[in-house]
Chain A
């Protein structure tokens, strides 16, 4: 597997920031869009951005060993504080020397605050100024997760990057609740910063909120910038909102957040979203999608995804992707995977490995294109393969805002004819081999 080497010849950053546990160096900027390629020095690893972080909820990426993750060139992976906090719990993790030692992973780790799981998984979650009140699913007892407790759990886990507990509202919510949540998140940030016991070993990222309201999101971002954090996350999105609102909130946030620090858009993982948001100036992403869809037999390719359970693949003796250098594509055909996907754990693992490799290769290609200042051409080529002419309108609009106009034909004659749908339901036709 190719190890990231995009920055080979570059050693002077264009801009940088030095925080107690994080140094961020921007080495290349796209001359047209807001994209940049950077190195992020974390306590455990030197990551390259823009970067995708696979999600390892309970301390493992479903069925994949840490040795395989290294071979796939993953730099940072996620753990979930809610799950790890209940099992194995903070005391055991401290005894083990932190999550890195517990799971034998020596690269980067990021933990979320636990708040999102709480609100999405639990039936009774009551949010007060103190914290999130919920019913423990095991014994029905009333419990509370406060910003202080979340930080305490995350300090025990010991990840390189921790997220503040935020008052997260659905992106579809409207009315005064959105503003209430935004201001409360700022107050909870300050409480989190105060409670943080390991600021030279772990980074605490605030999360920009404000729903889909321009005014509220602006205020949120400006407040967070005042705290001079090592990096910032853009939250409260990827919850089913219209993509037209989604990209505008992302772009607004990256316009306000400092350019010499990393910007992390939470819950983003579809290939086209990664390409567009990188053009809008985002550096970090996480999503369960690639690993989850693998377990349903879906393999990711540049045209979309292949549902390998479908009958059409039973005699298809090509690899998933001829341009992919992952072990699955080197060894197995779509026909073989068709026989075993969803039936054996090895079927799951083979497609999971490929999907992670797919995401890593996409991000490497994005970084390479930015370093060589040809990102707009890369975007056009990506969209041509992914959608053909029928590119979703929101993508066209988002890219136009950063000086890439897909509706204008390029030298190859390709141009987009935007469609209203946010998502393309059927995958694009595969290019002739």
Chain B
């Protein structure tokens, strides 16, 4: 079975490696003084060294650089030595005129290595340390060469010959990779040949000529980077890889790395176009290498991301049937001899997650339970840790109302008493268990993501003792922001494990291809090759930047931690912090993230815009996001659009439209119980608000009430707070302040226990409004309440909330008999002016009209008729706009 084991044959001598060796020889000639000949400065010399370092690191990659690319890169490297380097490289190749020369060449290579025993290194000589990266590379090359038999020696020579010839005809023939010219027989050189297909003259030429066209096109548009990076347009990529896979040999390690990279790509581009192109590519790969079972897994992933349930299931099962879960999984292998049984528990884990994604929570739970059982049975702790994490994720995401019927009857994974616990408690236990196991097994990524899950849990759930006995059991019923922060920080520790690259870290194929990508990023941009003045420094720093490379999965987790930070700040009510964290995510992790995470970031930013800048900006941003994400399956962008439109319609008073959007929103949710809870809650919350706006108070109250029951049933605590607030709001609007008060108070206490500061401020405002609704004699108390909440509202509140607060304040003052308009007019007018400005951005006609009305009244009292008339005219405009809602919706298109 083709696992990730590195064999001796995994490292083969290829023409590319010989070129690197030649360069190394130039870099560290065997008998030379401190600065070898062509280099004019130490920094220049070092630059070549850094470049060689990255080349050697990239040599485990799936793609091997073509000679032409190498020369191009060399050209960008040194300003005056590049010609010399290229010249020398070509000369060296030409001088290898017989197999014997090759032998001599490798014998010479030994010379550039320092001797093992000489502790004292002469200062004036450049010798490669045996254990340095470059030294290791040279040693590996020499070893690989020595392992070759006589005939192979010959063949390598022929291959070199071909390369050299190619080099000579380079200018005439354009960009031809040197692999293409090597005869078929040469490919047998490497031992442990993974796969290749023979080349027949005719077809080869067809293919090459086809390729040449595409290559030329690309280079002419200088989109070279796109062609090589995974994120490129898929058609060209498939073509590229086809050439690669059919013409050259890859080691297992390289293939696995390549496939891993593809898997990341599938996750990052969840759209249907990408999916079909990658599917055809995978089919091809499968034809070429039917025993490479990992391909089935990739097909599964691809189908999963394009929402094809049956094909996904089929491919998943096929993968595990064939490989027994032992091919290509980067989990730490279990110490005991589980190989006999295979690792089908991973299959169960994947199947469970698949069911989860397709919205079958009960099936998923059943499968995961089995996964837990099998992992325990085979003592595969790694899988167990992952499974527990998946389970807790499932339980926390899906609203499973009565888990006892599902879990309790058959099996409870952790303890036998678990069946008596509530869902949250179970989630907590599962998480803790998973974290503990992951910690002992040193599964760093899992530890990090478990910390994140823990942070989420802490964010959403109040701390309660698991088993409460006696009087001492009562603890504070609050969530703890500090522990949320702690968990997020703990998860971010992951990056420090990767930031200092240690030799212990396995350089898997994917990592090495990251190297190559990183190399090409700066190099492909013409900026660096043209701006000669700033070039040196910038290229140099680019090298340094990319010396540390972080695997995609790690940066994904770190990115997710920023998103959670943003979410937590959103809940805690700090708009700037939320925005900042989202921006950090979007700028730093945007390219390595999965499409759904990136989408979430956009979503948050757009929501922020809508709340704080008005709809115009938000819709403009939405348009950009739509282009990017609408093809992604299960896109949240549509949801966001509906939300924005609904909000907008409510503000403009277009209730029919609002109702229609509400219905659409409800239609998006799955009909299955307990699935898409977030969406369902959102839809009915908006329905209640629409009813409220239509002044159908009793219906609105009914809807809100049943929503509250749902939230209670599915343990949606934070949603409960906002539903309570809505109920208070409904009663306030219905003029029934006494009924509203308890709701507002309840909402406030919920907010307190979950540290939802902004929501609390908003609830306080409602409370104040309710007090005032009881009569003007309560104005004082209302004003006090408002002033208490003012810092929060003005500092972090959205446009609407702030305007409401301003208007309310003005109202309070104006109704206060002790307040004199003529002396203190500015206090009131400032607030009102601020409010009306902000509300105009929201197109909130009703409130704007109110503010303007008050303003007009104040001006009237002050005896300023012109301003009064102005305000009155504006007032009239808004009132007519409210009464005749424009059906034409410019942003609906």
Do they bind each other? Answer: no
